[in-house]
Amino acid sequence: QVQLVESGGGSVQAGGSLRLSCAASGYTFSRSCMGWFRQAPGKVRERIATIYIGRGSTRYDDSVKGRFTISQDNAKTTLYLQMNSLESEDTAMYFCAAAPQMFDRSGDYCYAFDYSFWGQGTQVTVSS
Task: Please report which confidence band the pLDDT of residue 60 belongs to, taking 50, 70 and 90 as the band edges.
Answer: very high
Helix spans in the chain (H): 107-112
**Considering only CA atoms, which of 117, 34, 17, 47 is closest in space to residue 78?**
34
Task: Please report which confidence band the pLDDT of residue 45 belongs to, taking 50, 70 and 90 as the band edges.
Answer: very high
Q: Which tens digit of pLDDT belongs to each residue from 1-12?
A: 999 999 999 999
How much is the average pLDDT of 77-87?
A: 98
Q: Is 34 exposed, middle or buried (0-12, 13-18, 19+ CB in 10 A)?
A: buried
What is the per-residue pLDDT for 47? 97
Instruction: Compute the distance between CA of residue 116 and CA of residue 124 in angstroms, rounded to an integer.
Output: 22
